[in-house]
Amino acid sequence: DGGITQSPKYLFRKEGQNVTLSCEQNLNHDAMYWYRQDPGQGLRLIYYSQIVNDFQKGDIAEGYSVSREKKESFPLTVTSAQKNPTAFYLCASSISRPQPQHFGDGTRLSIL
Amino acid sequence: DAKTTQPNSMESNEEEPVHLPCNHSTISGTDYIHWYRQLPSQGPEYVIHGLTSNVNNRMASLAIAEDRKSSTLILHRATLRDAAVYYCILRDVRYEKLTFGTGTRLTIIP
């Protein structure tokens, strides 16, 4: 079945550590996105990529980095510069605007 | 960004229709109306979207007001699996992001 796979489902980060969240899609979608969701709130856009080797900052990019070396993959690194990283992270993809975005099941990141 | 307004919560009885309202009085001509729903600890699931005309799919119907300043998501026969937070979102074709509000928490009563 086609879809978006995020891993791991749960992740713990130590102080001063960088961690990378994986996102893979087999939908042949050009655009991919990373969102952050805090408890009881909506999603906020971190980064997005419309094409391989290109990506753009969203509303809350500080403390995060991404790469898009392959169409299928869009990993997100949460760096030590992100002081409040505890959240639910969601990856999405879409064919193009204004088509719907399809979401993975998320990664929950916590601080040890 | 154009904003949407939804009730915080709603309840409905199982096997009855549910009408979820959304106001978007500042909608622009380049905004599509999207609906997503989210279960706890899962990613949002696309439900339906439209521009001006009413839309139907296997999950739901979307009724859009003639002036486009409001819309209603209709679940024709609610089941317990429909209990979720429902988000009404305006997606501007000029931009990439979806702007999620806090949505409507729908509770289905058996």
Q: Does B57 touch chain A (CB under 8 A)?
A: no
**pLDDT confidence band for B79 (50 / 70 / 90):** very high
- In this prediction, residue A1 carries a pLDDT of 61
A-chain residues near B93 (CB < 8 A) = 97-98
Q: Does B50 touch chain A (CB under 8 A)?
A: no
User: Taking 90 as the threshold, does the pLDDT of residue B95 lie above it?
Assistant: no
* CA distance readout (Å), B49 to A22, B34, B60, B73: 28, 4, 10, 10
Quickly tell me which residue has 């999620």 as its tokens.
B100
Please tell me which residue of chain A has the smallest CA distance to B98.
Answer: A45
Q: Cβ neighbours of residue A94 under 8 Å, at least 6 residues apart?
A: A29, A31, A33, A100, A101, A102
Three-class SS state of A19 = strand
**pLDDT confidence band for B4 (50 / 70 / 90):** very high
- In this prediction, residue A103 carries a pLDDT of 95
Share of chain B above pLDDT 70, in %: 98
Q: What Rg value do the Cα atoms of chain B yield, rounded?
A: 13
User: Taking 80 as the threshold, does the pLDDT of residue B2 lie above it?
Assistant: no
Please give the average pLDDT of every successive group of 10 residues along chain A, which has 112 residues: 89 90 96 92 91 94 97 96 92 86 95 84
Residues 9-28 of A with CB under 8 A from B: none
Please tell me which residue of chain B has the smallest CA distance to A89.
Answer: B43
| B15-66 tens-digit pLDDT | 999 999 999 999 999 899 999 999 988 999 999 999 999 999 999 999 999 9
User: Taking 80 as the threshold, does the pLDDT of residue B1 lie above it?
Assistant: no
Closest Cβ–Cβ partner in A42, A98, A105 for B87:
A42
Is B55 exposed, middle or buried, given 0-12, 13-18 or 19+ CB atoms closer than 10 A? middle
Q: Do B96 and A33 touch (CB under 8 A)?
A: yes
Q: Does B43 touch chain A (CB under 8 A)?
A: yes
Longest Cα pair distance anywhere in chain B, in angstroms?
43
Q: Does A33 touch chain B (CB under 8 A)?
A: yes
- In this prediction, residue A15 carries a pLDDT of 83
Residues 62-101 of A with CB under 8 A from B: 88, 90-92, 97-98, 100-101
**pLDDT confidence band for B8 (50 / 70 / 90):** very high
> How far apart, in whole angstroms, are the C-alpha atoms of residue A19 and residue A12?
9
Please tell me which residue of chain B has the smallest CA distance to A50.
Answer: B96
> How far apart, in whole angstroms, are the C-alpha atoms of residue B93 and residue B99?
13
Closest Cβ–Cβ partner in A31, A42, A97 for B103:
A42
Q: Enter the DSSP assignment of A53.
A: T
Tokens of A52: 């391989």
> How far apart, in whole angstroms, are the C-alpha atoms of residue B12 and residue A10?
33
**pLDDT confidence band for B78 (50 / 70 / 90):** very high
